[in-house]
Structure 1
Amino acid sequence: MRVLVTSSRNTFALDLIRKLGSVGHTVFASDTYEGAVGSHSRFLAGHLVTPSPRFATDAFIDTLNAYVREHDIDVIIPTFEEVFYLAARVADLPAGVELYAGSFADLARLHDKASFQRLAQEADVPIPETVVVTSPAELREAIDRFPRYFARAAFSRGGVGLLTNTGPLAGKIPVEECVPTPEQPWLVQPFVDGPMVCTYSVVVDGRVTAHTMYKAAEQWAHSTAIAFVAVDSTDTLRYTQQLVNALDPGFTGQISFDFVDHGTEAAPDYKIIECNPRPTNGVILLEADDVSRAIEGVVEETVVAIPGTERQITLAVLADAFTEPLKHLPTTLHDLLHVRDVGAGWWDGAAMLWSPATLVHGAKISHGDRKEVLAALGDDIVWNGEPIQGMSPADAESLESVHAGRL
């Protein structure tokens, strides 16, 4: 295949580039700035800098299309929330290129946390008690219901913007700064003790072809996971297939879920929290050939990561920096230049030399705003539920359905 991997700033995008390139695919990369780490891997045939899909959607699509035609790209594999812009404009992509993602309607339903909770119920996948709030008054009323709580926007990602009164993130965001609206509601759930586990899956024509469940073997500053260990995925593989069946039996793409284990080590009890309809760090736990065959859909049985498999993200300091205020940037840059690269075996260290550029990119985007580097870093590629420039009437209607369904 001739593959274009977009949003190459992400660690898992770099891993995907390395894996696909190492097994013989011709791989290209793109992002909105020159210093994205994945754009400098030795496994690339070339890379492209594009306009922002969020702030200049038409220009983003036009630039990408020209590159796809020039390099005869077969497949575009999104790795972050540019997937929504590409899916909404899929009719404008060159004939013959495949977008490795679900339809916009499916992706919107997965990304919106309120609609995803309803999907999980339809799929008979356990969820925690959930209250959807659409005003600051409703938010305060909801958090008063739970002695321990956590809340987040319906369109959010990772640990960014998490309101809680429990654990290491307690009080990090004041409740006064959280302003739910009918257009941007929040979800409030009881905080329940138990480890968070995450999954990553490849799905082809409605069948899960690769799956891994993993937990953080090590965390940096009690927040960002920097080492991952695969665990038995029997239950979550079943849940993932149930969710895909309920969503769209023809779904193709990469999909990731977060669960909390409310049970014990001997008797797990997983409840699903949210979905990222894109890859996450779980891909690093799978072997290169398995990832390639799963994406192509040529596996007879679902490929799963062997329990006990452990990997580390390169440059843990970089991951930690994404959760810290900008005042920590000088210290982070110092640590970044002294941390040992743990991407052993790839002989691709030049890519990681561009990591400081990733931090600088986030700092530039957030200039003048009170926001963390992680939130800033993705600002030009995220999607928060707004109508997308040039989207089809059918997709606009599906977005309205998602919005209407959560009230």
Structure 2
Amino acid sequence: MNNKLIHNILLTGGRAPVTLELARFFTTAGYQVFVADSIKHHLCTNSRYVFKNFLVPQPRYNSTAYIQALLEIVKQENIHLLIPTCEEIFYISHGLIELNKYCQVFAETVHILNQLHNKWEFICQVKKLDLVTPQTWLVKSKAEIIDILQSSNSFHKLILKPVYSRFASNIHILSPKNYQLSVQEIEHIQISKNKTWVVQEFISGKHYCSYSIVHQGKITAHAAYPTVFTAGKGSCIYFEAVNHPQILQWVKTFVESLKFTGQIAFDFIEANDILYPLECNPRAISAIHLFQVSDKLETAFLNTTSEIIQPQMYQRAMISMAMLVYGLPDAIRYHQFRQWLKIFFSTKDVIFRISDVMPFFSIFIILWQSLLMSFKTGLSLIQVSTQDIEWDGENIELLMIDREN
């Protein structure tokens, strides 16, 4: 990536706190930042670190128009580098050939992204490298799930989840020892050859998340943090940087094998000093908030750093609104109130900055917008936040046929 040619940067996914963080990093470093999103009011809308915002079509419902809108922005604003941050990356990857004619796109092909996003394909990739994985089965019918339950008495618990999902949503915990209850648990799930699931052994241990910026298999930035407080079952809302050499080495091995380029994140369980990869998110995650301006994270994206940039040990960040809504009730429920109280009053919020206060105050407009959408669609607030950018492998079969031809 030629840093001398890059000045104008387009970020997609303006709704995400990580996008706002990146806008602040890049603008502070002297770059001009543009943001595109398919919702009208988002965190970057009124940020002084964003030169211009664009409202674009919803990628999930009109991917062709979405790519066309991005192309127009790229041409009109002379964009040099496009960085996707959220799940819209899969739709951008569909249009990679066309977009790459006019700017650099920090994303892999949709074929590579699918191998990582698809929970079964990811486990298969890990196995190819002879790395340890939890016992995992691909299932295409309820009968297959029942067969696994009947033949897996050695497992205390099993996890059932769709091959495409996010935020640990739609997860079911099954127990071969409680066979009848487990059968009832799967009674209403939708499963077929076109909507497959994975069954995975439940491993009890410490949960970690990692995030890396990678160029052709070379890591230029990396962070890891344990899961402490979450919104619902999976989405972390508090982050504390830790030094975990085993995770860094695991990620190095994996991304080098794919010669991967882009942002990539992993979920791990560590049990008895063994690291078990659970799933992969080939996009940005909240670990970005652990970096500071002085870390010069922008150089990791531009591949101009000579070392792996990592956040300072025990650097902390939190999504304060989510810590109140989700973290506090859980802290009370699980007798962690003192820990929550200490964290809440000693940790920086990922959105609030004295130099850029409007995104923080706009949270209430965004929340009202989300509540209206939730009421209209019947979806939860978490589901509403991504329903227009989610990608569950649509058109991947057609793309694979085109690739083979």
TM-score by length of 2: 0.83
Counterparts in 2 of 1:134 and 1:361: CA distance versus 1, 3 Å: farther
- 1:136 correspondence with 2:147: no
> Computing the radius of gyration over CA atoms, which structure comes out larger, 1 or 2?
2
Identify the residue that residue 335 of structure 2 maps to in structure 1.
Answer: none
Query: Does the 8 Å contact 2:317/2:348 carry over to 1?
Result: no
SS at match of 1:37: coil
Identify the residue that residue 342 of structure 1 maps to in structure 2.
Answer: 349
Pick the aligned partner of 2:319 from 306, 313, 322. Answer: 313
Identify the residue that residue 162 of structure 1 maps to in structure 2.
Answer: 171
Give CA-to-partner distance per residue, 1:84-118, whole Å, 9 cap, x none.
11111112226331111111111111111111101
- 1:237 correspondence with 2:252: no
Query: Does the 8 Å contact 2:24/2:49 carry over to 1?
Result: yes
- 1:212 correspondence with 2:212: no
Mind listing any 5+ residue stretches in structure 1 that lack a counterpart? 325-338, 402-407
Identify the residue that residue 150 of structure 1 maps to in structure 2.
Answer: 159
Give CA-to-partner distance per residue, 1:343-389, whole Å, 9 cap, x none.
4555222112222344444445555655322123211101001117x
Counterparts in 2 of 1:94 and 1:364: CA distance versus 1, 3 Å: farther
Query: Does the 8 Å contact 1:3/1:77 carry over to 2?
Result: yes
In the TM superposition, what is the alpha-carbon distance from 1:18 to its structure 2 partner?
A: 1.6
Give CA-to-partner distance per residue, 1:203-244, whole Å, 9 cap, x none.
012201111111134446776432111112311111112111
Mind listing any 5+ residue stretches in structure 2 that lack a counterpart? 1-6, 176-180, 331-344
Pick the aligned partner of 2:281 from 265, 276, 279. Answer: 276
SS at match of 1:127: coil
Counterparts in 2 of 1:78 and 1:320: CA distance versus 1, 3 Å: farther
Distance 1:366 1:69 in 2: 35
CA RMSD of aligned residues (A): 3.0
SS at match of 1:187: strand
Pick the aligned partner of 2:237 from 226, 230, 252. Answer: 226
Identify the residue that residue 32 of structure 2 maps to in structure 1.
Answer: 26
- 1:201 correspondence with 2:209: no
Identify the residue that residue 335 of structure 1 maps to in structure 2.
Answer: none
Pick the aligned partner of 1:383 from 385, 391, 402. Answer: 391
In the TM superposition, what is the alpha-carbon distance from 1:83 to its structure 2 partner?
A: 0.7
Identify the residue that residue 128 of structure 2 maps to in structure 1.
Answer: 122
Counterparts in 2 of 1:180 and 1:359: CA distance versus 1, 3 Å: farther
TM-score by length of 1: 0.83
Distance 2:97 2:200 in 1: 38
Q: Number of aligned pairs?
A: 372
Counterparts in 2 of 1:72 and 1:395: CA distance versus 1, 3 Å: farther
SS at match of 2:297: helix
Q: Which moves more between the two structures, 130-139 or 176-185? A: 176-185
Give CA-to-partner distance per residue, 1:247-299, whole Å, 9 cap, x none.
2x2x3210000001112xxxx32100000000101111123343111111111
Pick the aligned partner of 1:352 from 349, 360, 370. Answer: 360
Distance 2:313 2:274 in 1: 18
Pick the aligned partner of 1:260 from 260, 264, 269. Answer: 269
Pick the aligned partner of 1:49 from 55, 73, 90. Answer: 55
Query: Does the 8 Å contact 1:105/1:395 carry over to 2?
Result: yes
Counterparts in 2 of 1:154 and 1:361: CA distance versus 1, 3 Å: farther
Query: Does the 8 Å contact 2:238/2:323 carry over to 1?
Result: no
The amino acid across from 2:274 in the alignment is D
Query: Does the 8 Å contact 1:122/1:246 carry over to 2?
Result: no
The amino acid across from 1:191 in the alignment is F
- 1:295 correspondence with 2:268: no
SS at match of 2:237: strand
Identify the residue that residue 371 of structure 1 maps to in structure 2.
Answer: 379
- 1:5 correspondence with 2:11: yes
The amino acid across from 1:275 in the alignment is C
- 1:83 correspondence with 2:86: no
Q: Identity over aligned residues, as a percent?
A: 26
